Chain A
Amino acid sequence: MVPRPEIAHWLAASFALLLGLILLAEVIVGTTVFRRRPWRAYLWPSLALGAGVGLWVITIFSTFSTMHLLAHAVWAEAAMIAGAVQLAVVREKLSSPYWSLVTAGALLISGAAFLIHEQNPLLYSRSAFLHYALGWTCLVGALFPLGKALWPRRLVWSAGFALTWVMLAVLLFSDRDVAPIFGHFGEIAP
């Protein structure tokens, strides 16, 4: 039995929240302490790579709509590329701070996919509102890895990136298959 979309979104929210907490913890203790144990250093890139694999599975089940299929495929691709590059950075195969631009690009493309594949206006339904909110959060969130690539020593970029994931988690947890937005229900739910 295939789970309802909202179930998959809540599970994704849990991963995003855990990722946000881990990244926030890294900001608090500093990268040197955080990477003292190798498994911790590989955690965020592995989660991103794993999320990419999970998104491919969801892509397979998104045959009800070409737009959704393409959007999930874009998110899967973006997550896997960002995760793979970060794995190489942690492994010290890549050392330039400019590799952070790949993460920025992944968030940028993901945000664009959210905004492009939503066909309804902002307040049409809960789902429409969340697509816009998630899209803009990704676009704004892309500024943090971009800043990290250009000014790698500033802590604000890492903190902003961590909080972006917490924000994405909150928005994904707010998702319902059928629900009003500010008291307004879509004429054809969701």
Chain B
Amino acid sequence: MSSEIATSIPERAARRRSGVTRRQARALAVQLLGPATMLSGLVWAVAQPYRIAFLYPEGKGAYDYLVQPPLLVVVVGLVFLVLIAPGLIADLERGERGPET
């Protein structure tokens, strides 16, 4: 076998380690997307509390209680965190082995 093609065992181990590190970093990034979105919604709610109808109920209708922008951002982050991220991370940790059978 040509020595240009064959790799040494430490080299292969290092490559495997860097692959695992990269996968872990990706999983962490996906895991953080939801909480980061929720946090931005909470920061918005603190910065503009008057956009929360529960805190300022005067003259507010049904739609104002149903649709409150900072809370919508929190809900979107929560939906991503609960429904999208776990499956993605599970598939990522299973590695890129082609489609599921």
A residues lining the B interface (CB < 8 Å): 1, 3-4, 7, 10-11, 13-14, 17-18, 21-22, 24-25, 28-30, 32-37, 40, 173
Q: How far is the CB of B92 from chain A (nearest CB, A)?
A: 5
Residues of A within 8 A of B73 (CB): 14, 17, 173
CB pair B26 A21 closer than 8 Å: no
Q: How far is the CB of A183 from chain B (nearest CB, A)?
A: 16
Query: For the complex, is B56 an interface residue (Cβ under 8 Å from A)?
Result: no
Q: Which residue of A lies closest to B37 (CB)?
A: A21
Secondary structure type dominating chain A contacts:
helix
Given the interface pairs A10-B67, A40-B87, the reply to whether A29 lies near B92 with Cβ below 8 Å is yes
Secondary structure type dominating chain B contacts:
helix
CB pair A28 B72 closer than 8 Å: no
Query: For the complex, is B84 an interface residue (Cβ under 8 Å from A)?
Result: yes
Q: How far is the CB of A178 from chain B (nearest CB, A)?
A: 13
B67: which of A11, A24, A37 is its contact (CB, 8 Å)?
A11
* Residues of chain B at interface, number, CB under 8 A: 28
Q: How far is the CB of A24 from chain B (nearest CB, A)?
A: 6
How far does the alpha carbon of A17 sit from the alpha carbon of B74 in the complex, in Å?
A: 11
CB pair B69 A33 closer than 8 Å: no
CB pair A173 B33 closer than 8 Å: no
CB pair A37 B84 closer than 8 Å: no
Q: Which residue of B lies closest to A166 (CB)?
A: B37
Given the interface pairs A7-B63, A28-B26, A33-B88, the reply to whether A14 lies near B100 with Cβ below 8 Å is no
Residues of B within 8 A of A32 (CB): 96, 98
Residues of A within 8 A of B34 (CB): 21
Given the interface pairs A10-B67, A10-B72, the reply to whether A37 lies near B87 with Cβ below 8 Å is yes
Contact indicator per residue, chain B 88-101, by CB within 8 Å of chain A (1) or not (0): 10011000101110
